[in-house]
């Protein structure tokens, strides 16, 4: 399985992070995980994606606050912490069934 990492700066809103991931997933890739890193003295989310060999597009992913209810008709696929608006925030990733 081929993967790649990209950075999402920690100053983004959760809505913007979800949009960035959705745009990336439209290019034959799937969100796998994220971890916190530092680059040039700033917090950055290092996001890992799996590359598809075909033109597959995964079902929609939604990152939500850990304290929020799960969106309807989804399955939990990831749990972790990301930098959101310069705060470390516990999140859960849900993918449509």
- Name the pTM for this structure: 0.94
Q: What is the pLDDT of residue 84?
A: 98
Domain boundaries, the chain: 3-96
Per-residue model confidence as pLDDT tens for the chain (97 residues): 799 999 999 999 999 999 999 999 999 999 999 999 999 999 999 999 999 988 889 999 999 999 999 999 999 999 999 999 999 999 999 999 9
Q: Using alpha carbons, select from 7, 27, 24, 26 the residue that is nearest to residue 82.
A: 7
Neighbours of 93 (CB within 10 A): 22
């Amino acid at each position: 399985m081929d993967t790649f990492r990209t950075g999402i700066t920690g100053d983004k809103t959760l809505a913007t992070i979800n949009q960035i991931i959705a745009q990336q997933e439209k290019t034959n890739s799937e969100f796998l995980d994220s971890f916190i890193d530092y680059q040039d003295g700033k917090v950055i989310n290092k996001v890992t994606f799996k590359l598809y060999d075909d033109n597959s597009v995964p079902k929609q992913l939604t990152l939500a606050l850990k304290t929020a209810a799960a969106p309807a008709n989804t399955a939990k696929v990831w749990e972790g912490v990301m930098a959101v608006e310069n705060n470390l925030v516990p999140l859960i990733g849900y993918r449509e069934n």
